């Protein structure tokens, strides 16, 4: 009996130590909140707009601007939008030679678990978002043809080009 007691004690001690072990760390990255993930500069690589009525006429129209179209068709670089931690945004449009053609300052915030709010001069925009890695897709209704009706379906694809500290 004297020999089995130490073995029994060691077995109990071993089981108690194993029960307190921490689970193994995984290589799964911690998911960032959308508020943190947006911080940085994003380049618009594609815009698709489906107009419910075009220029006030009862006609449907579709516009698709792909990445290569910016320079070839429009003589411009893709617009770049910078999102800062204080809720400000700045979208810069440039000619192909790099000169600035327009700057739009605005505000942004996470409106809900699936919606971003953007406030720009004379407009408030709500977009559903899908963020996968360095790609951000914004989708929502806008007044893209300036006919006074928020009825144009817009999808914008952006690529992360730099992080904001």
pLDDT in tens, 45-64: 999 999 987 766 777 889 99
Assign a CATH topology to domain 35-162. Answer: Lipocalin (2.40.128)
Q: Is the pLDDT of residue 32 over 90?
A: no
What confidence score (pLDDT) does residue 28 get? 40
- Split at pLDDT 50, 70, 90, the class of 165 is low
pLDDT at 19: 41
69-107, pLDDT tens digit by residue? 999 999 999 999 999 999 999 999 999 999 999 999 999
pLDDT at position 44 is: 97
* Segments making up each domain of the chain, as ranges: 35-162
Query: pLDDT tens digits, residue range 100-149?
Result: 999 999 999 999 989 999 999 999 999 999 999 999 999 999 998 888 88
Euclidean distance between CA atoms 100 and 78, whole angstroms: 12
């Amino acid at each position: 009996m004297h020999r089995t007691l130490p073995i029994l004690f060691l077995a109990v001690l071993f089981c108690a130590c194993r029960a307190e072990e921490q689970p193994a760390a995984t290589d799964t990255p911690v998911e960032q909140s959308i508020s943190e993930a947006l911080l940085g500069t994003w380049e618009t690589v594609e815009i698709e707009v489906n107009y419910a009525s075009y220029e006030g006429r009862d006609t449907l129209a579709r516009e698709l601007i792909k990445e290569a179209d910016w320079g070839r068709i429009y003589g411009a670089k893709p617009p770049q939008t910078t999102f800062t931690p204080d809720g400000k945004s700045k979208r810069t449009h440039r000619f192909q030679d790099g000169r600035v053609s327009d700057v739009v300052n605005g505000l942004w915030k996470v409106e809900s678990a699936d919606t971003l709010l953007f406030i720009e001069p004379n407009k408030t925009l709500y977009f559903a978002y899908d963020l996968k890695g360095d790609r951000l897709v914004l989708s929502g209704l806008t007044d893209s043809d300036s006919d006074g009706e928020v009825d144009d379906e817009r999808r914008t694809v952006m690529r992360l080009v730099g992080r904001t500290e």
